[in-house]
């Protein structure tokens, strides 16, 4: 697999993502500069965490207009895989790759903590190596993570199995106390209608090594490798 | 072409939780402004724009709001003023 990690001014999890792909997974990783139009034939585009363009106006609002994003959107429209993590999820929503928006945490505080997630769908290129209902531990670190969408959109996401991860307690229940940001329906991650774009606030790239406290992100990347081997093409 | 100056209000849409507005309302209440009801906190954008007419300027400002300045999922916008600069 060849993964491309987009670098915007203000990205700060780009090196985490590069380390995850190149060192933890032993796959090829390249950086994609925001001003370029060349995706370098990558199989997977990662929109990493950070504060692209200083979160000016709204998180992700300006990054969406970067030259590279035109190519990322075209890649997604061809069925190519896109993984938006944290600020990358916000950018994917602003770019129209995913429905909804990420608003200020209901606590008005930045939250940096490991959280438990329940895997809600394994019928995606990103989650086939989990089992349904599995509770995984992955860190979050964000100030604007409250997933919001209108009622029709939420009903469609739920009905079509597009809600992929939900914040839960250790017992696997989606409670208010387990919700770190006030996201509607405890939504932590969703996929596009076609399933090839995943946006999530938690950081799976920081959960690949025992030294970092969790290896629960490993099956997510294994799922991507499996789906690429099985013929998901850009 | 004429230069116009426009002011735009962008606020969280009604029905969408605005924790910042609620925190401000709570602070106002604790300061004794008991008459304060709902508070919503948004953004105020001032921009200068060249256009052939006021109507043309208004059309452009509306398009700018729809495309970038406001998020159509969560925010409403209002052109508060549009005057010759």
pLDDT in tens, A142-162: 999 999 999 999 999 999 999
A130 vs A231, higher pLDDT? A130
Residues A221-233 have a mean pLDDT of 86
Selecting among A86, A93, A94, A142, the annotated active-site residue is A86
- What whole-number distance in Å separates Cα of residue B35 and Cα of residue B58? 36
pLDDT of residue A234: 45
Residue numbers in A near B17 (CB within 8 A): 103, 106, 146, 148, 182
Residues A11-15 have a mean pLDDT of 97
Model confidence pLDDT, tens digit, residues A111-125 = 999 999 999 999 999
3-state helix, strand, coil in chain A (%, to 5): 30, 25, 45
Could you identify the residue written with the tokens 């290129």? Answer: A125
Cβ proximity of A63 and A8 under 8 Å: yes
Residues B1-7 have a mean pLDDT of 96
Residues B75-83 have a mean pLDDT of 96
Catalytic residue flag (residue A194):
no
Give A42 to chain B, closest Cα distance, Å: 29
Could you give the angle at the alpha carbon of A88 between the alpha carbons of A13 and B13, nearest 5°?
Answer: 130
Model confidence pLDDT, tens digit, residues B20-33 = 999 999 999 999 99
A232 vs A197, higher pLDDT? A197
Catalytic residue flag (residue A205):
yes
pLDDT of residue A206: 97
B31-65 residues labelled b (16+ CB within 10 A) or e (exposed):
eeeeeeeebbebeebeeebebeeeeebbebbeebb
Give B11 to chain A, closest Cα distance, Å: 12
Q: How many A/B residue pairs have CB atoms within 8 Å? A: 36
Whether residues B19 and A106 touch (CB distance < 8 A) is answered with: yes
Its pTM stands at 0.94
Residues A121-139 have a mean pLDDT of 97
Can you spell out the DSSP letters for A177-234?
TT-SS--GGGEEEEE-TTS-EEEESS-GGGSSBGGGTB-TTHHHHHHHHHHHHTT---
| Residue B19: its H or E element | helix B19-30
Which structure tokens are listed for A191? Answer: 């996929």
């Amino acid at each position: 697999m060849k993964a491309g990690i987009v670098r915007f001014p203000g990205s700060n999890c780009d090196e985490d993502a590069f380390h995850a792909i190149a060192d933890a997974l032993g796959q090829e990783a390249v950086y994609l500069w925001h001003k370029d139009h060349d995706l370098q034939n990558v199989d997977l585009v990662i929109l990493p965490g950070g504060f692209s363009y200083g979160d000016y106006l709204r998180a992700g609002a300006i990054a969406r207009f970067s030259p590279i994003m035109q190519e990322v959107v075209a890649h997604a429209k061809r069925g190519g895989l896109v993984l938006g993590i944290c600020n990358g999820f916000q950018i994917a929503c602003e770019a129209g790759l995913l429905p909804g928006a990420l608003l200020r945490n209901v606590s008005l505080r930045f939250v940096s903590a490991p959280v438990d997630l329940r895997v809600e769908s394994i019928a995606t290129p990103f989650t086939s190596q989990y089992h349904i209902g599995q509770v995984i531990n992955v860190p979050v670190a964000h100030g604007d993570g409250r997933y919001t969408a209108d009622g029709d959109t939420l009903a469609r996401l739920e009905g079509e199995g597009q809600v992929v991860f939900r914040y839960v307690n250790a017992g696997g229940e989606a409670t208010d106390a387990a919700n770190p940001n006030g996201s509607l329906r405890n939504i932590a991650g969703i996929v596009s209608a076609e399933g090839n774009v995943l946006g999530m606030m938690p950081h799976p790239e920081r959960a690949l090594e025992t030294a970092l406290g969790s290896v629960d992100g490993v099956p997510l990347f294994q799922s991507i490798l499996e789906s690429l081997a099985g013929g998901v093409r850009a | 072409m004429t230069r116009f100056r426009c002011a735009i209000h962008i606020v969280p849409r009604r029905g969408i939780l605005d924790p910042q507005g609620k925190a401000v309302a709570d602070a106002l209440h604790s300061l004794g402004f008991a008459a304060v009801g709902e508070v919503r906190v948004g953004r105020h954008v001032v921009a200068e724009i060249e256009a052939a007419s006021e109507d043309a300027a208004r059309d452009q400002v509306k398009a700018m709001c729809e495309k970038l300045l406001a998020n159509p999922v969560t925010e409403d916008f209002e052109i508060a003023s549009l005057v010759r600069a």
